[in-house]
Structure 1
Amino acid sequence: MKKWFVSIIGTGLLLGLAACSDDPSVDNHPKEQVVPSDNQDREQTPDTIQVEDSGNKSHEGQVQNDQDAAEMMQDLNFTEFELEVNYGPNEEIDYEYKQKSNDGDYKAEMKDTVKNVIYKGMEAFTALHTQLKDLELNANMDKEAAIQEILDRFDLDADYSKFELEVTFKDGSKLDIEDRKTP
């Protein structure tokens, strides 16, 4: 009987404490919540920080002074990477990375309508870096071998209608491949 009584009292206390929250986001009466007016100084929260105030945040895929990326760039053997693969009229994969300096300035974008993925800036760079950091490409590579390396690396279907790859290596050499398949 005591155990039953103690469990009822314990449950009651927990429900009572949960109902007494001071957190306005839990309040069921939105009229009573305090909302700052537009002319009040607002605390810098992720919702109120503008792009120019955000330090290393990206804008339209452009990132400046990203020190983590500067270190990661050393893993890559190229400064520019552009890949465009089309599958039929409506499916496209478009990956772009361009290192602008050794200080962490770069542009990175990923658009993949096959997997419904769009990344820009840091998010795109991180995803691309993971795929590209130990990529075995060079300027003298055979066209078919380079295409197969990219298809394997990004887990892409070989049934493309258009394949374009442009890579500029750190030594200034370039790899430029274009392949079109007719249906």
Structure 2
Amino acid sequence: MNRILLIFLSVFCIALLTACGGRTTETDNNTDRNNIAQNDIVKTTNRNNSNHLQNTHDQYKMKSQMEKLDFSEIDLEVSYAEQKEYEAEINHDNSGFIGGEVDDDLNNKQLRGKAAFDSIYPKVEKLTFSKGTNKKDAIDQILQSFDLPANYTKFELEIIFNDGTKMRYVD
């Protein structure tokens, strides 16, 4: 009888130690997974904060550049034969966020955001528009500044001056 009790007790202790040993490893693995997940969250948060700070800096820089111009927004669409178009735009949304967009079928370029703004700004900086600029002068300035061919099929330009006046040139 003692022998049976000793064997039963030994098997029970071995089973108990095996069960507890597996649980410790599993707990350690779960802890490691939790730590990895928390580290990923921290890294993502740091990246998002870094992007936010960069976006804030970019917005400040773009706003200060736009203040040097006589207008606050520009929207240009020039169509050419064979369904080719050149579109460039600098605008503000309702919150004052400055955005840019370039769709250039002539050179196969599509830009958004700061990259588009950086592409457009040097071109619009050269413009000398005023509210009294006639259509021919406006078109000539745009074509020259943006280095666009004069053989367009349709030309549309909308400019919003700093005082809120909108000028639209269509040809």
Structure 1 residues 67-76 or 113-122, which shifts more? Answer: 67-76
Which consecutive residues of structure 1, in runs of 5 or more, have no partner in the other structure? Answer: 1-36
* CA apart distance, 1:94: 0.7
* CA apart distance, 1:53: 6.6
Question: Cα gap change, 1:127/1:65 in structure 2, threshold over 3 Å: closer, same or farther?
Answer: closer
CA RMSD in angstroms, aligned pairs only: 3.0
- Where 1:55 maps in the other structure, the secondary structure is helix
Report what 1:70 is aligned to.
63
- Where 1:76 maps in the other structure, the secondary structure is coil
Q: Is 1:176 aligned to 2:129, yes or no?
A: no
Instruction: Tell me, yes or no, if the aligned pair for 2:126 and 2:145 is still in contact at 8 Å.
Output: no
Question: Cα gap change, 1:64/1:120 in structure 2, threshold over 3 Å: closer, same or farther?
Answer: farther
Question: Cα gap change, 1:172/1:79 in structure 2, threshold over 3 Å: closer, same or farther?
Answer: same
Instruction: Tell me, yes or no, if the aligned pair for 1:69 and 1:104 is still in contact at 8 Å.
Output: no
Question: Cα gap change, 1:92/1:167 in structure 2, threshold over 3 Å: closer, same or farther?
Answer: same
Query: 1:4-19 maps to which residues of 2 (within 5 A)?
Result: none
Q: Is 1:166 aligned to 2:158, yes or no?
A: yes
Work out which of the two has the higher radius of gyration on C-alpha atoms and give 1 or 2: 2
Which of 84, 104, 117 is the equivalent residue of 1:91? 84
The 2-side partners of 1:110 and 1:44 are apart by 32
Structure 1 residues 157-166 or 169-178, which shifts more? Answer: 169-178
Q: TM-score, normalised by structure 2?
A: 0.67
Q: Is 1:139 aligned to 2:131, yes or no?
A: yes
Give the AA of the match of 1:83. L
Give the AA of the match of 1:172. G
Which of 51, 56, 60 is the equivalent residue of 1:54? 51
Report what 1:123 is aligned to.
115
Structure 1 residues 157-166 or 87-96, which shifts more? Answer: 87-96
Give the AA of the match of 1:55. H
Aligned residues: 135
The 1-side partners of 2:71 and 2:109 are apart by 24
Which of 149, 152, 171 is the equivalent residue of 1:157? 149
Q: TM-score, normalised by structure 1?
A: 0.63
* CA apart distance, 1:79: 1.2
Give the AA of the match of 1:161. T
Give the AA of the match of 2:43. Q
Report what 2:43 is aligned to.
44
Identical pairs, percent: 29
- Runs of 4 or more, structure 1, over 6 Å off, are none
The 1-side partners of 2:99 and 2:81 are apart by 27
Instruction: Tell me, yes or no, if the aligned pair for 2:75 and 2:88 is still in contact at 8 Å.
Output: yes
Question: Cα gap change, 1:160/1:57 in structure 2, threshold over 3 Å: closer, same or farther?
Answer: farther
